[in-house]
Amino acid sequence: MAETVDDLSAPLGQNTARRRRRLRLPFTATQALAVLLGLFLVAFAGFAIFNDDPLGGEPVAHIALPQSGEGNAAAVKPPASSSAGAEQGAKAPAKENASGEQKTITIIDGSSGARHDVVIPGEGSSEKGQSDAAPAMTGIDPRLLEKSRYGMIPVVADGLKPFAVYAADADRAKAAKMPVVSIVIGGLGVGAAKTTDAIMKLPGAVTLAFTPYGADPGKLAERARAQRHEILLQIPMEPYDYPDNDPGPQTLLTTLGPEQNLDRLYWHLSRLQGYAGIANFMGARFVATDSVMQPILREAGKRGLGFFDDGAAPRSVASATASAQAMPFGKGDLTIDAVPTSGEIDRALAKLEEIAKARGYAIGTASALPVSIERIGNWIKGLEGHGVMLVPLTTAMLKSKSS
């Protein structure tokens, strides 16, 4: 009855509106819930139909796995002219920074035993290709370059070979008529000061051999060529006491297959440009193992390069292997600064003269020690007075082949 009184006493229409509101609220909320549920079902059905997810909504965690050297062999892309290409990594006495972009490595001088810490690009950056390689050097013939996964490497083109194009100038007619001596200073590129000394203090007829390491070996090699020096690229190879004595990253090893060693060779070849040939850096075990040397010298010969054996390994098969490939070859007769004192260096240089006069040519090797550069520089000044001519290594190689 109270409700009836209230309804009768209420203003006309007010009670009807209140009643309508009471009736609509439950209906509107239910309708909204139904619409939301329908939208959810449509969205879920669309996700299930159109999303190709083999995990079916299972929880997924994404992690970054470091690339291992041996495990990535199948991913290697070799140069266009070669089917080789495999293993990327290298065991080395190195410390890699957090970004993986650089490494600090310890280089051991094969003759003096001196150690040098240098920084080189990390192996992970090699996938970027040519951007990490040395830029083209002044005087480099672009026809004699081929792009590899690491950068530009030598190639034969239009009948031209790097060995001939990048050989230093020499009076070969005169060299054919008198005894000649070649000097090869190795281990350069690591230590800008000693490398610069060798470049500037020794005459252009002295051949300079660069390791692939150092902050910018290409820049120093370009400076050497600007001073008319002939240059070689030294390839780190396995010594007998490896890994206690480790030449550095990407060392060629007797335990690796041909494709893996060739891939490492390409890495080294891309580090600088304009060299007439390659040489061993350490590597007494490697150069004495025919099965691993053959693919390396075959590839070097195919690319128009010569090979220089520093003569430190008595059991080296490099001479016979290079001869089979009909490629230019030379071998060191003695290490001039094996005992790095003035007196011993002078005696070694006198011995080198004797070999040249007896055989027609002789090749000596040395490091860029200050005492070595000083004594060799003084000796060269009086060499022609002794009836012996100083020539670049390529000239001695050609004379030895014709002898």
- The enclosing domain of 206 has a CATH number of 3.20.20.370
Range from 39-48, 67-76, 134-143, 374-383 carrying the lowest mean pLDDT? 67-76
Task: Tell me the β-bridge partners of 153.
Answer: 146
Give the mean pLDDT of 144-148: 97
Whether residue 217 is contained in a domain is answered as yes
- Which pLDDT belongs to residue 97? 40
- State how far the alpha carbon of 231 is from the alpha carbons of 223, 306, 357, 392, in Å: 11, 11, 25, 9
Whether residue 30 is contained in a domain is answered as no
- State how far the alpha carbon of 242 is from the alpha carbons of 258, 284, 290, 294, in Å: 19, 10, 18, 21
Contact yes or no for 297/318 (Cβ under 8 A): yes
CA atoms within 13 A on the CB side of 71: 4
Give CA–CA dist 132/183, Å, rounded.
32
Whether residue 258 is contained in a domain is answered as yes
Give the mean pLDDT of 44-66: 44
Q: The whole model's pTM is what?
A: 0.71
pLDDT band for position 83 (cuts 50, 70, 90) = very low
What is the per-residue pLDDT across 265-277, written as a single tens digit (0 to 9) for each?
999 999 999 999 9
pLDDT band for position 215 (cuts 50, 70, 90) = confident
Higher pLDDT among residues 58 and 248, named by residue: 248
Give CA–CA dist 94/122, Å, rounded.
10
CA atoms within 13 A on the CB side of 50: 6
Give CA–CA dist 264/261, Å, rounded.
5
The most distant pair of C-alpha atoms in the chain lies apart, rounded to whole Å, by 142
Place of tokens 């920074």: 97
Pairing of strands 207-210, 180-188: parallel
Whether residue 371 is contained in a domain is answered as yes
Give the mean pLDDT of 203-220: 95
What is the per-residue pLDDT across 318-348, written as a single tens digit (0 to 9) for each?
999 999 999 999 999 999 999 999 999 999 9
- State how far the alpha carbon of 100 is from the alpha carbons of 96, 118, 133, 246, 365, in Å: 6, 15, 17, 21, 36
What is the per-residue pLDDT across 294-308, written as a single tens digit (0 to 9) for each?
999 999 999 999 999
Domain hosting residue 371, numbered range: 143-402
Structure tokens at 95: 């410390």
pLDDT band for position 139 (cuts 50, 70, 90) = confident
- How many structural domains compose the chain? 1
Q: Is the pLDDT reported for residue 396 higher than 70?
A: yes
CA 27 to chain centre: 76
Whether residue 313 is contained in a domain is answered as yes
Whether residue 339 is contained in a domain is answered as yes
Higher pLDDT among residues 139 and 177, named by residue: 177
Higher pLDDT among residues 206 and 116, named by residue: 206
Range from 114-118, 121-125, 266-270, 366-370 carrying the lowest mean pLDDT? 121-125
Whether residue 115 is contained in a domain is answered as no
Listed residue (291, 308, 292, 217) closest to 251, CA to CA: 292
- Which pLDDT belongs to residue 402? 76
- Which pLDDT belongs to residue 117? 57
Range from 23-32, 204-213, 340-349 carrying the lowest mean pLDDT? 23-32
Rg (CA), the chain: 35
- Which pLDDT belongs to residue 271? 96
